[in-house]
Structure 1
Amino acid sequence: MTVSGAIPQELIKEISTIRGNITELLSSLRKLNKYLIDPANNLKGISTEISKLERILPKLRIDREISSEVSGLIERVRSSYQEWVEELEGKLGGELEELLREKGFSLKGHYPELRTSFYTIELDFEKGEANIWFGPKQEWMGKARLNPREIANKLFKIHEAVTGRKFDDDSFLSKLIDAYRGTILRRGLKEGENAPIIEVLAEMAFLMQDRKFLTDPRRENYRSYGRAFFSYDLYRLKTRSKDGMELNLTVASRRYTRKRSDFLWIPTDENGNGSYFSHIRFRRVM
């Protein structure tokens, strides 16, 4: 007996799809098995893999008994999830507070929002992650798994990035005056008039670039300078006048706090207090 003709491409494609789904199923089960060793500290991973399994399972053509086993596993994990959340809630705050205290940070607030220094830590127990913001949920800085040590380490890294940059009052103020002048020139304003603070930031971001970027302005040579950096630099600026020019910041009215493009939160201390500002101006002083 001879067999002639090519194997249908549809058959090959279907088998390839089945193999891909089974491979994905096995990978997800292995990851889930690892996360279940310490479920309270792996909520995000568990949630992610359960969602994958629920998506993959209906696509599979596998033995009914195996399918039933996987479905049962999903159900058992789902039923235990809230218990793990409560376990984490019971220990996370205390452990995080201890880790932060070792580095000189204090922790305050209540779930789901905790505060330390300039930062807000927003806890999402369902997703198993913590979002870290500069200010009262003003500038998103990054996220970490809902694990006390990972949250603390992420916060320390962010804090170093914000506060550890070299800073000189005189140099910063010179750049700020140039940024202000560039903004009022572009807007057709006069010296001494208010310039939108975020437009001044855009000018500052360019002025903060080093020679490497200015001679070769490629993306990889660009040095990030965003809202949080500008906010912190304005906070730590001690000198307010230079060359007969005095810096003034305008507190944002309600009109200017509706859109992020109109205002900037600037801390007034290291305990999370601050104010919203909408404009910058430099005026001549005697």
Structure 2
Amino acid sequence: MNSQKDLEKSLRDISKKTSLIKRDLWRYSQLRQKGAPYLLRTVLESMERGLNSISNDFNQFQVALSQILENGKVTLKQKEEEFFFEFVKDLDDLFKEKGLTLSGQLPNLKVGFYHLKVNWEAKRVQIFFGPELVKSVPLDPEGICQAVVDFSTSMKKGLIQPEEFMPLLYKGYERALTTCGKEDGERLPIMEVLKEIVFQIQDEKFLSDPSKGNFKPLSRIQFAIQLYQLRREQILRWKEKDLHLVVAPFDATFKRQMFLWVPDNERGEGTRFSHILFK
């Protein structure tokens, strides 16, 4: 019994024998209350022969099917490895064309600021900026690459040059000191400073008509990239005061409004910060 056809034939034989046993069971139920003993004996002997025959057939079937399953698992593993290799290779080639480097191991990959979490069962890839889920896309290398590039482009659009952003950051810190009732040099929640910066970058058009169409956004992800650029360019001092970012304590990392993930590099690594100060 080495082929699928043999297994299918064996199943048909087992099914036929099961039907005969079912027939004998019905006859037995009729004869056990009233019926000639020799007829009851005939039915019981038929059931016993059927049981022995079907047990032998089923044991052979079970052994053969188990072997097919074992061989199938080996084949599946080989095909999965081939598929994973081709998937990562295609993705790597596509990112290289965009000037980006793919790293990591499945199901967790990294490219630029982003972490890609591959879910084979759902046939989806989740794109993260630190802990922030920014997008979920189908399991298609071209679509994944395009989604990362498009989102990255949208986040970089409207960013301020580091040397121009530093005075905005300092002014935002000063304004937040007032609103939070703090003294100069004290640390402030990093998201409070972001609020003040967002207010600063609005132009007269928004101030005279604060509608959605006139609003200039600065998302938390964009703010994180701006801070990364300051650290990368070593622009960490303004008005004779040094910029300090305070690493978030463990309990602060559970609440999104209490921390900001800032990239350490463009390999998907970063740090959660909870407070900011100039001193």
TM-score > 0.5 by shorter chain: yes
Q: Secondary structure at the match of 2:126?
A: strand
- Partner of 1:275 in structure 2? 271
User: Once the two structures are superposed, what CA deviation does each residue of 1:38-84 show, in whole Å capped at 9, x if it has no partner?
Assistant: xxxxxxxxxxxxxxxxxxxxxxxxxxxxxxxxxxxxxxxxxxxxx9x
User: Once the two structures are superposed, what CA deviation does each residue of 1:177-208 show, in whole Å capped at 9, x if it has no partner?
Assistant: 22112222111110100000111122222223
- Partner of 1:91 in structure 2? 86
- Partner of 2:63 in structure 1? none
Q: Secondary structure at the match of 1:272?
A: coil
TM-score by length of 2: 0.64
**Cα separation, partners in 2 of 1:282 and 1:131, compared to 1, 3 Å:** same
Count of aligned pairs: 198
Q: 1:156-167 maps to which residues of 2 (within 5 A)?
A: 156-167=149-160
User: Once the two structures are superposed, what CA deviation does each residue of 1:241-264 show, in whole Å capped at 9, x if it has no partner?
Assistant: 222333111122223323222111
**Cα separation, partners in 2 of 1:249 and 1:126, compared to 1, 3 Å:** same
User: Once the two structures are superposed, what CA deviation does each residue of 1:134-184 show, in whole Å capped at 9, x if it has no partner?
Assistant: 12xx22222322111011011111122233544223331121122112222
* 8 Å contact kept, 2:91–2:145: yes
Deviation larger for 98-107 or 163-172: 163-172
- Partner of 1:103 in structure 2? 98
Q: Secondary structure at the match of 1:230?
A: helix
* Aligned mates of 1:236, 1:247 — CA distance in 2: 13
TM-score by length of 1: 0.63
The structure whose residues are more often helix, as a share, is 2
Q: Is residue 116 from structure 1 mapped to residue 111 from structure 2 by the alignment? A: yes
Post-superposition offset of 1:119: 0.3
* 8 Å contact kept, 1:177–1:282: yes
Amino acid paired to 1:212: K
* 8 Å contact kept, 2:261–2:272: yes
* 8 Å contact kept, 1:139–1:227: no
- Partner of 1:11 in structure 2? none
Q: Give % identity.
A: 33
Superposed CA RMSD? 2.3
- Partner of 1:251 in structure 2? 247
* Aligned mates of 1:169, 1:152 — CA distance in 2: 27
Q: 1:189-204 maps to which residues of 2 (within 5 A)?
A: 189-204=182-197
Unaligned stretches of 5+ residues in structure 2: 1-75
Q: Is residue 236 from structure 1 mapped to residue 220 from structure 2 by the alignment? A: no
Q: Secondary structure at the match of 2:137?
A: strand
* Aligned mates of 2:277, 2:159 — CA distance in 1: 25
* Aligned mates of 2:204, 2:134 — CA distance in 1: 27
Q: 1:136-151 maps to which residues of 2 (within 5 A)?
A: 138-151=131-144
Post-superposition offset of 1:89: 4.4
* Aligned mates of 1:141, 1:208 — CA distance in 2: 24
Q: Secondary structure at the match of 1:234?
A: helix
* Aligned mates of 1:149, 1:185 — CA distance in 2: 49
Bigger-Rg structure (1/2): 2
Unaligned stretches of 5+ residues in structure 1: 1-82
Query: Where do 4+ consecutive residues of structure 1 move more than 4 Å?
Result: 85-90
* 8 Å contact kept, 2:172–2:194: yes
